[in-house]
Amino acid sequence: METIEPAYGTATLLIIAVGAVLLLLTLILRFRVHAFVALVLVSLLTALVTRIPFADVVPTLLQGFGSTLATVALLVGFGAMIGRILEVTGGAQVLADRLVDVFGDHRAPFALGVASLLFGFPIFFDAGLVVMLPIIFSVARRFGGSVITYAFPCAGAFAVMHAFLPPHPGPVAAGDLLGADIGLLVFVGLVVALPTWFFGAYLYALWAGKRFVLPVPDLLGGGETAQAEGPLPSFGTVMSVLLLPLGLIFLNTGLNTLATVGVVNGDAVWVNILRMIGQTPVALLITVLVAMWKLGADRPAGELEKIMDRALAPVCAIILVTGAGGMFGGVLRASGIGQALAGSLDQLGMPLIVAAFLISTALRVAQGSATVALTTTAGLLAPTVAATTGLSSFDLCFLVIAIACGATVLSHVNDSGFWLVGRFLDMDAKTTLKTWTVMETLLGTIGFGICLIGWWLL
């Protein structure tokens, strides 16, 4: 659904956006309306108030809902199946034991975070999180304490890698629009991402885990310690199952990057076949089949079918709430709120890197999607960047990452990732705002601070 010509000026649209968010929070926190119902209701009211034509209201709602579910439903469903079979067969415990043996008992959250940083290079945020969840839950049950202590280093790692580094779509698109060197962007993005993750995700998780003591949720078999029947799978088998989707997804993201920089022909048949195999839903489907073969071959077919079926039931609410969050973000995009805010900030005449961060932040807050905020901001700034003389290759890279930082901060109720993390960790909206939103804001502001230093020095 394309953005409809705004019916109001920027100031009015800003008031409407703030009012919509406040109404949503009031319904969920004060009146305890289910998040799914509240998101659909507020999305409808926002569409009406912003004067989206009546004939376009329902298509706009369904477009936002459907486009989110198109990715999330398959991803979460297959991810839950992989997680459940790893849990039931003892595979998650095998991996958790090996990680803890290498890093030590006291560094279990750090071990999980490092693993997520490695996995996060080729794999998207949502996919990486659902693949890691059974391992996170297994380690959390083993050592006790709040699940936040173990989950947030992983979630933060996937978040910074997804936002800051190629071959993820946001930084690749922004780098291409602004003329940044993709290879250099990988290096600069990594230099910014590692300290950002350490201070904004790992250290914050250790602090937040003491303040918000949350039990391991009853998802993916997480509520009870799984008792595997028969011999445990080998570490190599477990790693092959976990690395398979990462390797397949890297076929897609890696080839996209190579095609962008002209190393391979993006129209070649073999490139498109590998891209298709590397699409996240296909990669996870292949991984489910391999997991059934490698981990569940010694179980009766009927039992394996029941394991898969039980994996889906707990995640249905997560899928619906996440889709409704995408609906709300879609309405805000279609109403023109994000574009109006970005346009007004672009006229303030502030330093380029600061304007990039603030425009991206405004788009992020207004419509929820980090990738949309990143690519839209880059598109808005591209003419200005092209007309600015004296920008070095490093400057362009820092500019791209500053935009990514703005697209990371203030994840809230219009962000599907907000609901995905909150529901998977069994947190209510208030707790998610106090924890996840704070961590995302820390990641964005710390990363932007590092970019500013690099901008000034280099």
**Each residue of 204-232: pLDDT tens digit?**
999 998 898 888 887 654 444 444 556 78
How confident is the model at residue 192, as a pLDDT? 93
Q: Which residues of 429-446 are buried (b: 16+ CB within 10 A; e: fewer)?
A: beebbebbbbbbbbbbbb
**Tokens encoding 325:** 């969050």
**Tokens encoding 245:** 């989707």
Q: Is residue 4 part of a domain?
A: no
Q: Is residue 5 part of a domain?
A: no
Alpha carbon distance 31, 164 (integer Å):
38
Alpha carbon distance 133, 131 (integer Å):
6
How confident is the model at residue 49, as a pLDDT? 92
Residue 84 neighbours by CB under 8 Å, 6+ apart = 134, 220, 221, 307, 308, 310, 311
Q: Is residue 311 part of a domain?
A: yes
Q: Is residue 292 part of a domain?
A: yes
Q: Is residue 2 part of a domain?
A: no
Show pLDDT as tens, one digit a residue, over the chain (458 residues).
455 666 677 778 878 877 887 787 788 767 878 778 888 898 899 899 988 899 999 999 998 888 767 766 777 678 778 777 877 787 767 776 787 788 887 888 998 888 888 777 656 677 778 778 878 888 888 888 888 999 999 999 989 988 888 767 678 777 877 878 776 787 888 899 999 999 999 999 999 988 988 888 876 544 444 445 567 888 888 888 878 877 887 787 678 778 877 778 878 888 889 888 988 788 889 988 998 888 877 777 778 888 888 777 766 766 777 677 778 777 877 887 656 655 565 566 677 888 889 888 887 887 676 766 777 677 667 767 776 667 788 889 899 999 999 989 988 877 778 888 888 888 888 889 999 999 999 999 999 999 999 888 87
**Tokens encoding 398:** 């820092």
**Tokens encoding 370:** 């980090």
Q: Is 368 left (phi over 0), alpha (psi -120 to 50) or beta?
A: left
Q: For residue 303, what are the domain limits? A: 10-457
Q: Is residue 100 part of a domain?
A: yes
Alpha carbon distance 412, 25 (integer Å):
10
How confident is the model at residue 370, as a pLDDT? 74
Cα distance between the two ends of the chain: 41
Q: Is residue 1 part of a domain?
A: no
Alpha carbon distance 400, 244 (integer Å):
30
Domain count, the chain: 1
How confident is the model at residue 338, as a pLDDT? 57
Q: Is residue 294 part of a domain?
A: yes
Question: How deeply is 377 buried, as exposed, middle or buried, from its count of CB atoms within 10 A (0-12, 13-18, 19+)?
Answer: buried
